[in-house]
């Protein structure tokens, strides 16, 4: 099922805002890299930023599709996506920390901060879409 024109507009707007957030986070990383002591920033941070951009876009797309139907379907998709994301993130953090013990703490801190930023952004955008689409049974 493809997205309707209205949902395509929401996705385009979301994608543009997500790219802006990605550019801001990347700029903050570059600036911080020059002013922070060695070892305080994870070299994996740029990959984390890109990872969250791609994952957020994919998940938002499927949540938009679900929001076009019943509320119960949207809630199911949202809860499943959240659950799978959290489990997947725990695995990623665990594996990376096990394989790169010296970079574990900076990686976890970077991962958590970027996760929070993208999660708050995703939820606020989903709430806007739900509000504009109106109630569905």
pLDDT given at position 136: 59
pLDDT given at position 68: 77
- Average pLDDT on 5-10 reads 88
Angle ∠(136,120,44) on CA atoms, nearest 5: 135
Domain range summary for the chain, segments of one domain joined by +? 5-131
pLDDT given at position 58: 95
Indicate if the alpha-carbon torsion angle 2, 56, 89, 46 is positive or negative.
positive
With both helix axes pointing from N to C terminus, report the angle between 5-35 and 104-133 in degrees, rounded to the nearest 10.
150
Question: Does residue 3 register a pLDDT over 70?
Answer: no
pLDDT in tens, 45-93: 999 999 999 999 999 998 888 887 777 788 888 899 999 999 999 999 9
pLDDT given at position 132: 81
- Model pTM? 0.89
């Amino acid at each position: 099922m493809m997205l309707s024109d209205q949902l395509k507009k929401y996705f385009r707007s979301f994608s543009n805002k997500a790219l802006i957030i990605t550019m801001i986070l990347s700029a903050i990383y570059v600036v911080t890299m020059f002013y922070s002591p060695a070892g305080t920033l994870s070299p994996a941070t740029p990959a984390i930023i890109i990872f969250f951009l791609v994952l957020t876009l994919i998940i938002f797309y499927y949540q938009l599709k679900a929001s076009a139907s019943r509320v119960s379907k949207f809630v199911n998709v949202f809860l499943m996506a959240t659950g799978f994301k959290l489990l997947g993130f725990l695995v990623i953090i665990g594996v990376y920390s096990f394989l790169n013990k010296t970079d574990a703490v900076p990686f976890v801190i970077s991962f958590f901060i970027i996760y929070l930023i993208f999660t708050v952004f995703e939820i606020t955008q989903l709430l806007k879409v739900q509000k504009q689409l109106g109630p569905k049974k």
